């Protein structure tokens, strides 16, 4: 049987390269405007809230909650044929930004809106580390 | 027949219906990524092509092009504009495969490549299913309500001689028993994949009166993007679509309200997108779409018949151009068994890419 095709990988150029560079160090960082303090994801050149070009890669707490998801039962890309069923999940981070990822230790059927999750990292190749999530304890 | 051939066939038929010869066309607005104005003009013998443009809004392009073409003929930069759309959606590459294979086919492609695809978030049904799931959470929308949409479209297709799904009725039980594709979307939440084409000709109302054709009039139109348009997964208001902005504009220009509309042809790539567009167009409030689509309200004979031809779900996937054609047939009184009685005003919408929206208010 032929090996599964390689999953699609992000380009490591520009701001995406910087974002994934932090992930490779197992740090989840998002852009934060140093003029108005607004966090943003996906990365952008300037702040859509105030127009400032000044920003930093600020470290996220890594904690968030499940906002929504879909359970992919039928693969729509050959690289994910062997992964079904799996769930692309939108996580809303404590900082307020949302990120598309997966919760790797949770069966798709057990996902719930509001479920607390914490970032983990998946070193998919020597160059690329994807931010993923695991279930986290419920807090008061 | 090739993708180009299908579109040329639809184009020549639309021109014949309008009472025009192909060389009289001087404007062309092809659907994104499915053919160039240059090759179409060359094939049709259009020697004086003054206006060629494509609106990059995916399935929202045909209705957005209707607005742009109307602006072009009104401004005098074109006389007659042809809007073709067509593809080998069944015999060629399937619609579901397009984006993951051609990342630059959509405006948000770079974000999809860098932040979606690595997680297996690769295709339109997956993108939109996220919104449907969240809608279920916030508003209690149910699978039975999505099923009511699939069943209504299929009922309408039984009355349409052109519908792929004519002769194949669908019950709510069939819908609920159909296999899951990308939850909450089942098989029958998803549109067809079809070889097909359709075309429309736009000119000024004054010139239309001199043509053989029975013209249908554009009362108002809008086309807009949600914010941000290039990122669907992290959009702050996940229910916002281009229609949120475009629909009030279109109704304002038309001088009518959703209550005045006799039927609606809503871009139905998936069932939930019908529900969401009914809400964002203002046929009901946000969160009320689930109840709105039940009880036969969107079926022929109901308060607002939706997709009287069967739509992308049950007639054929002709990129939304077929929705405009159906609205024209209804307003001309040519819709046969599926005719909406005394139809005077109809709405057509388009949905594309990460929620781009377009809308036209038409009258007979």
φ/ψ region of A112 (left if φ > 0, alpha if ψ in -120 to 50, else beta) reads beta
What is the predicted pLDDT for the residue at B95? 64
The residue assigned the tokens 């809303």 is A92
Count of C-beta atoms within a 10 Å radius of residue B162: 15
In whole angstroms, give the CA distance from residue A127 to residue B9.
50
What residues of B are in contact with residue A99 (Cβ under 8 Å)?
A: 115, 233-234
The confidence score (pLDDT) of residue B310 equals 98
Are the Cβ atoms of A7 and B137 closer than 8 angstroms? Answer: no
Smallest Cα distance from A139 to chain B, Å: 21
Range of the domain at A71: 14-135
* Residue A96 CA: distances (Å) to CA of A48, A60, B228, B315: 15, 10, 16, 42
Tell me chain B's radius of gyration from C-alpha atoms.
19
Kindly tell me if the per-residue pLDDT of B148 is higher than 60. Answer: yes
Which residue ranges of chain A lie beneath pLDDT 70? 1-4, 139-140
Token code pair at residue A73: 């039962």
ipTM associated with this complex: 0.96
Q: Is A46 on the interface with B (CB under 8 A)?
A: no
Residues of B at the A interface (Cβ-Cβ below 8 Å)? 96-97, 100, 111, 113-123, 125-126, 129-131, 133-134, 137, 179-185, 228, 231, 233-234, 238
Q: Are A131 and A121 in contact (CB under 8 A)?
A: yes
Q: Which of residues 112-131 of A touch B (CB under 8 A)?
A: 113, 124, 128, 130
pTM metric for this prediction = 0.96
In chain A, residues with a C-beta closer than 8 Å to the C-beta of B126 are 70, 72, 76, 88
Using alpha carbons only, what angle is made at residue B242 by residues B297 and B281, rounded to the nearest 5 degrees? 25
B125 pLDDT higher than 80? yes
pLDDT reading at B202 higher than 70: yes
Task: Give the pLDDT of residue A139.
Answer: 65
CB contact under 8 Å between A76 and B131, yes or no, is no
**Confidence grade of residue B341 (pLDDT, cut at 50, 70, 90):** very high
The answer to whether residue A37 sits within a structural domain is yes
| Whole-number Å distance between alpha carbons of B332 and B326 | 10
Cross-strand pairs, B345: B363
Residue A54, CA distances (Å) to A16, A27, B171, B279 in order: 17, 21, 57, 39
Is A86 in Cβ contact with B181 (below 8 Å)? no
Chain B neighbors of A132, CB-CB under 8 A: 119
pLDDT band at B315, cuts 50/70/90? very high
Distance spanning both ends of chain B, measured CA to CA = 34
* DSSP structure string for B313-341: HHT---TTHHHHHHHHHHHHT--GGGPPT
In the prediction, which pLDDT does A1 show? Answer: 41
Number of domains in chain A: 1
> In b/e form, how buried is each residue of B123-150, taking b as 16+ CB within 10 angstroms?
bbbbbbbbbbbbbbeebebebebbbbbb
Map tokens 């992308």 to a residue.
B312
How high is the pLDDT of residue B303?
97
CB–CB contact B130 A124 (8 Å): no
The DSSP call for residue B180 is E
Q: Which CATH superfamily is domain B3-90+192-363 in?
A: Thiolase/Chalcone synthase (3.40.47.10)
pLDDT at position A3: 62
pLDDT for B83-121, tens place per residue? 999 999 988 877 666 555 666 677 778 999 999 999 999
Distance CA B133, CA B141 (A): 9
Are the Cβ atoms of B111 and A42 closer than 8 angstroms? yes
Which of B70, B126, B123, B73 minimizes the C-alpha distance to B97? B123
Q: What value, to the nearest 5°, has the Cα angle with vertex B223 and ends B222 and B226?
A: 125
Average confidence (pLDDT) over B281-301: 98
Name the DSSP letter for residue B214: -
Residue among B107, B112, B182 with most chain A CBs within 10 A, to mutate: B182
Quote the percentage of chain B above a pLDDT of 90: 93
pLDDT in tens, B224-279: 999 999 999 889 999 999 999 999 999 999 999 999 999 999 999 999 999 999 99
Residue carrying structure tokens 């003929």: B73
Contacts of B111 in chain A (CB under 8 A): 42
What DSSP letter does each residue of B26-84 carry, written as one string? -EE-PPTTS--HHHHHHHHT-----EE-----GGGHHHHHHHHHHHHHHHTS-SSEEEE
Decide if B116 and A68 are in contact by the 8 Å CB cutoff.
Answer: no
**Alpha carbon distance A50, A32 (integer Å):** 12
User: Does some domain include residue A50?
Assistant: yes
Q: Write out the two tokens for B318.
A: 């002709």
User: What is the least distance, in Å, from the CA of B94 to any CA of chain A?
Assistant: 10
Sheet strand arrangement including A116-123: A98-102, A88-93, A63-69, A116-123, A129-135
pLDDT at B107: 73
Question: How many whole angstroms separate alpha carbon B93 and alpha carbon B109?
Answer: 18
**pLDDT given at position B27:** 98
Nearest to A98 among B120, B184, B234 (CB): B234
Report yes or no: A110 at the B interface, CB cutoff 8 Å: no
What is the C-alpha to C-alpha distance for residues B198 and B175, in angstroms, rounded to an integer? 29
């Amino acid at each position: 049987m032929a090996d599964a095709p390689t999953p699609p990988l992000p380009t490591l150029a520009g701001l995406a390269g910087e974002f994934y560079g932090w992930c490779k160090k197992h740090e989840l960082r998002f852009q934060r405007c140093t003029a108005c303090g607004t966090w943003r994801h996906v990365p952008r050149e300037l702040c859509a809230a105030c127009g400032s070009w000044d920003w930093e890669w600020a470290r996220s707490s890594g904690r968030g909650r499940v906002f929504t998801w879909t359970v992919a039962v039928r693969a729509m890309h050959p690289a994910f044929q062997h992964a079904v069923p799996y769930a692309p999940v939108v996580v809303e981070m404590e900082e307020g930004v949302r990120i598309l990822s997966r919760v790797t230790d949770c069966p798709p059927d057990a996902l719930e809106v509001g479920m607390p999750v914490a970032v983990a990292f998946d070193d998919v190749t020597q160059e690329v580390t994807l931010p993923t999530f695991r279930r986290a304890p419920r807090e008061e | 027949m090739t993708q180009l051939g299908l579109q040329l066939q639809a184009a020549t038929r639309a021109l014949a219906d309008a009472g025009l010869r192909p060389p009289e066309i001087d404007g062309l607005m092809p659907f994104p990524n499915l053919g160039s104005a240059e090759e179409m003009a060359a094939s049709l013998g259009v020697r004086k092509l003054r206006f060629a443009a494509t609106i990059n809004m995916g399935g929202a392009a045909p209705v957005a092009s209707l607005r742009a073409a109307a602006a072009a003929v009104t401004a005098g930069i074109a006389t007659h504009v042809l809007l073709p759309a067509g593809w080998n959606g069944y015999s060629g590459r399937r619609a579901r495969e397009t984006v993951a294979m051609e990342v630059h086919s959509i405006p948000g492609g770079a974000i999809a490549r860098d932040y979606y695809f690595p997680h297996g978030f690769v295709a339109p049904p997956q993108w939109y299913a996220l919104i449907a799931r969240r809608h279920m959470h916030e508003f209690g929308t149910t699978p039975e309500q999505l099923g009511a949409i699939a069943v209504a479209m299929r009922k309408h297709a039984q009355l349409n001689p052109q519908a792929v799904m004519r002769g194949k009725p669908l019950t709510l039980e069939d819908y609920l028993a159909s296999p899951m594709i990308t939850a909450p979307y089942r098989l029958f939440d998803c549109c067809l994949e079809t070889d097909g084409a359709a075309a429309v000709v736009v000119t000024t109302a004054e010139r239309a009166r001199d043509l053989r054709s029975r013209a249908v009039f554009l009362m108002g139109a809008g086309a807009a993007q949600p914010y941000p348009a290039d990122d669907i997964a992290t959009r702050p208001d996940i229910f916002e679509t281009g229609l949120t902005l475009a629909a009030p504009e279109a109704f304002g220009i038309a001088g009518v309200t959703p209550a005045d509309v006799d039927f609606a042809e809503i871009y139905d790539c998936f069932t939930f997108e019908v529900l969401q567009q009914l809400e964002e167009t203002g046929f009901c409030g946000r969160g009320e779409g689930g109840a709105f689509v039940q009880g036969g309200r969107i079926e022929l004979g109901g308060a607002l018949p939706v997709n009287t031809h069967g739509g992308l779900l049950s007639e054929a996937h002709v990129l939304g151009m077929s929705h405009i054609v159906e609205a024209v047939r209804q307003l001309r009184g040519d819709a046969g068994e599926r005719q909406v009685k005394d139809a005077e005003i109809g709405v057509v919408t388009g949905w594309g890419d990460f929620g781009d929206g377009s809308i036209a208010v038409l009258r007979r």
